[in-house]
Amino acid sequence: MLELILSLFITPSNAPVSNYSTVVTTLQRIQAENPTTSQMIDIGVSDSGQNIVALKIGDGETADLIVATHHGNEYGSTAVAMGAAEAFAKNPIKGHTVYVVPVLNISGFDARSRYERTSNGSLDQNRDYPGPCITGKPFKSKATKALADFIAKANIVSSATLHTHWPAVLYPWGFSTNDVSTKDDATFIQLSKDAVVESGYDVGNSKELLYAADGAFEDYAYWQHGIWSLLFEMGTTHTPSESQMKQMVEVNVPGLRRFLENAPKQRAADHAFTGKCDRNMIQRTHLE
């Protein structure tokens, strides 16, 4: 079954072929095979006019989110989300309801582009959320607004946002400030370590290990709501082969499960940003 999912992404020449409709069809098949534990839902409509689908898994009190492909070219992240959807549908996390959104940037996914085409132009979804150091207008994308509305309405407690390609699990803050500590650093560090038992990825603060980026989902979820929010940067390439994706699924799905199982059952209480923004901070240009 895992091979079936992964083969959707790859042709014999190693070029990815999967498009959004095959992802939806696969999610429907996972739902049909696990009718008592999973349910297809829509979280909203994208700028391209397509439904943003999610698989709702389990019926526990604690609600969690796994979201992939803010960056449309990062199809390896969708593969891991689909692997998690299948594994959790077969064996839900007790006491939890997990929502899996395999593709947030639908037009980017179909075009193999990092960026989403929207009525406000082409944009990077992971720079489109409100944040304490944001100067521009957020939510130019209907998809990011839909996801933001969804995490509020569904009372999401923990979230994992999936990206490629840098082997690390990262925690807030990651925006343009030198004051990167939160009051929850100890919890975030422990949860990150829980997430990398199988992968052996690095763990660290988003800004220190990656780069400062304003308007990212992972900071927004914690800053706005106190959601236990981790960023999974997975693998070593934006164009993983089928065997590389299989490895990414195998080492990250157990880590996702352990993170969600071990995270506190309530959102963080004291999650305000009290530091200073540094808008002159030089942002490194490599893109994850």
Q: How far is the CB of 139 from Zn ion (least distance, A)?
A: 19
Residue 169: both structure tokens together: 């699990």
Q: φ, ψ for residue 98 (rounded to 5)? A: -110, 125
- Other beta carbons within 10 Å of 56: 18
163 binds Zn ion (CB under 5 A): yes
- Binding residue (CB under 5 A) for Zn ion from 71, 117, 142, 165: 71
Closer CB to Zn ion, 163 or 225, in the complex:
163
Distance CA 58, CA 152 (A): 19
Q: How far is the CB of 113 from Zn ion (least distance, A)?
A: 12
Q: How far is the CB of 74 from Zn ion (least distance, A)?
A: 5
Query: Residues 72-91: x/- map of binding to Zn ion (CB under 5 A)?
Result: --x-----------------
Closer CB to Zn ion, 67 or 100, in the complex:
67
Give the dihedral of Cα atoms 138, 67, 219, 97; nearest 10 deg. 120
Binding residue count for Zn ion, defined by CB under 5 A: 4
165 binds Zn ion (CB under 5 A): no
Distance CA 43, CA 71 (A): 18
Distance CA 155, CA 29 (A): 27
**Cβ neighbourhood burial of 219 (10 Å; 0-12, 13-18, 19+):** buried
Closer CB to Zn ion, 110 or 288, in the complex:
288
Closer CB to Zn ion, 219 or 288, in the complex:
288
Query: Residues 228-267: x/- map of binding to Zn ion (CB under 5 A)?
Result: ----------------------------------------
Q: φ, ψ for residue 286 (rounded to 5)? A: -70, 150
Closer CB to Zn ion, 117 or 163, in the complex:
163
Distance CA 223, CA 43 (A): 21
Q: Which stretch binds Zn ion (CB under 5 A): 6-14, 37-45, 70-78, 259-267?
A: 70-78
Q: Which stretch binds Zn ion (CB under 5 A): 23-31, 66-74, 186-194, 202-210?
A: 66-74
Q: φ, ψ for residue 57 (rounded to 5)? A: -120, 125
Report which secondary-structure segment, H or E, holds 162.
strand 156-164
Distance CA 174, CA 214 (A): 8
Closer CB to Zn ion, 34 or 144, in the complex:
144
140 binds Zn ion (CB under 5 A): no
8 A C-beta contact, residue 142 and residue 227: no
Q: Which stretch binds Zn ion (CB under 5 A): 45-53, 78-86, 159-167, 266-274?
A: 159-167
Task: Tell which positions 1-60 bind Zn ion, by CB under 5 A.
Answer: none
Q: Which residues bind Zn ion (CB under 5 A)?
A: 71, 74, 163, 288
